[in-house]
């Protein structure tokens, strides 16, 4: 299972764009990248998933360079409710693989 490295914490203000970068130097060919969001005393919630290039959904964008050794979660115009811990995970291909969580990035959005 590829190990991931993220900043421990980030601060932002309402309305700003936030980019959280994750390093996964040992990512394997069949691995894909998933980001989860966790609020205090709640289970993690799926945000976005991708394999390469760019993926966008209604809440975020995920940028993955050609070498796939890193990925960047982009949150447009954050609000106070985006204050949470964000986890980047590399999932080992197919077959209901178990997840290994890293430290995550604690994002604090201020007014």
- Site residues (vs another protein, CB under 8 A): 32, 34, 36, 41-46, 49, 87, 91, 93-94, 96-104
**CB of residue 94 to another protein, shortest distance in Å:** 4
Question: Which of 23, 49 has the CB closer to another protein?
Answer: 49
List, in order, residues 6 or more apart from 36 with CB less than 8 Å away: 44, 45, 46, 47, 86, 87, 89
CB of 15 to another protein, least distance (A): 28
Query: In this structure, are strands 61-64 and 105-110 parallel, antiparallel, or unpaired?
Result: unpaired
Q: What is the 3-state secondary structure (H, E, C) of 79-94?
A: CHHHCEEEEEEEECCC
Nearer to another protein, 43 or 111 (CB): 43
Q: How far is the CB of 43 from another protein (least distance, A)?
A: 3
């Amino acid at each position: 299972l590829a190990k991931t490295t993220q900043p421990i914490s980030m601060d932002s203000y309402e309305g700003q764009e936030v980019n959280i970068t994750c390093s996964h130097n040992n990512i394997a060919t069949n691995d894909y990248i998933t980001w989860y969001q966790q609020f205090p005393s709640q289970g993690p919630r799926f945000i976005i998933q991708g394999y390469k290039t760019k993926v966008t959904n209604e809440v975020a964008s995920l940028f993955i360079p050609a070498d796939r050794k890193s990925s960047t979660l982009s949150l447009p115009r954050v609000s106070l409710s985006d204050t949470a811990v964000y986890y980047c995970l590399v999932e080992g291909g197919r077959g209901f693989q178990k997840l290994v969580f890293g430290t995550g990035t604690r994002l604090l959005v201020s007014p």
